[in-house]
Amino acid sequence: MNQDEFQKLVQENPRPLMVDLWAPWCAPCRMMAPAFHQASETYAGQVDVLKINADESPEVLRALGVMSIPTLVGFAGGKEVLRRSGVQSLEVLELLFDALAHQRAPGILPLAPVDRILRTGVGVVFLALGWINRDILPLGLILLGVGAAALFSAIYDRCPIYRAVAPRVKAFFSRSKQA
């Protein structure tokens, strides 16, 4: 598929369109395929699906600015409304399809397990460095603060306080941008 065919399909599609950018050699793409198929079956008739092989359509990937696969891009009314890269769980895929079907933002999505593990590891390393350097006050405090922030970012999407405050903060900044 070339760029012109892709743009025409996106513009003329009557329903929201979920584009799956993948490749046959991509292990994460193959790993996500069963969950993607299940989610797309659940939303059949509400959301159309277009699978684009990255090896056969590099022009489309360049035009979309896709740097890694698998990447999911959702279009509604000819405009991009969501994007998510990397392997997604069935839960996240269903949230993405649901948001696209109802043409709204997907909200706060859970972190991928790999992201959660990496953030936790970075947080622990910085906390350890801060503890080791606790005698050097400014450096130790900064490292402890960075470690605590990294650990919090590993679990923030499960924190009830964050879930309560985040939408209000987002709404505040959205209003201030429009003003």
User: If we measure between CA atoms, which residue out of 117, 101, 99 comes closest to residue 109?
Assistant: 99
For the question of residue 29 being annotated catalytic, the response is: yes
For the question of residue 26 being annotated catalytic, the response is: yes
Q: Which helix (H) or strand (E) holds 146?
A: helix 137-155
Query: Choosing from 21, 29, 73, 151, which is the catalytic residue?
Result: 29
Query: Choosing from 26, 95, 100, 151, which is the catalytic residue?
Result: 26
Q: Burial code of 151-174, b = ≥16 C-beta within 10 A, e = fewer?
A: bebbebeeeeebeeeeeeeeeeee
Residue pair 40/70 in contact by the 8 Å Cβ criterion: no
DSSP annotation of 158 reads: G
- Residues acting as catalytic residues: 26, 29
